[in-house]
Structure 1
């Protein structure tokens, strides 16, 4: 069972990336996965929020708990900034 310290460590590891672009991959069961890129918008004591722009007129906010990362239901990856002039 996850201790509160484990979830706190996960939250502390995510906090420095608030405002940066991330890729989220979530398992939705029955071989369905959700994969989007967005901005890590907020980090709260129990959840974190990712802002995904579906289109210029539609912004979606998705929240996940830190236990989702612990159970590997959600994978969060920091998007690397591409260097200009590279192929």
Structure 2
């Protein structure tokens, strides 16, 4: 069972990393994964936003929910001071 305290702890952990470079791995089904590096841009009550930039000068913002991390559909690794810290 998913507890509110689990979600609030994940949210607090993510809020402390706003503006940090992150590596995000999202499962897309059928053993496919989306792995990108971006910047953790902002947090909201039920979602957080990651900004990705590609080689073509295009910026893309993608939102994920905290339950995505709790259910392991998304893995978020914060690259802070050349150390990688996994949020879970």
TM band (smaller chain): 0.7 to 0.9
Between the aligned partners of 1:49 and 1:55, the Cα distance in structure 2 is 20
Between the aligned partners of 2:56 and 2:79, the Cα distance in structure 1 is 20
Q: How far did 1:24 drift?
A: 0.2
Equivalent residue number for residue 2 of structure 2: 2
Equivalent residue number for residue 15 of structure 2: 15
Correspondence 1:37-56 to 2 at 5 A: 37-56=37-56
Residues 1:71 and 2:71 are matched in the alignment: yes
Provide TM-score, normalisation by structure 1.
Answer: 0.87
Greater C-alpha Rg: 1
Q: Deviations over 1:2-32 (max 9, x none)?
A: 1222111100011111001000001011011
Select the structure that is richer in strand: 2
Between the aligned partners of 1:46 and 1:11, the Cα distance in structure 2 is 8
Q: Which runs of 4+ in 1 moved over 6 A?
A: none
- Superposition CA RMSD, Å: 1.3
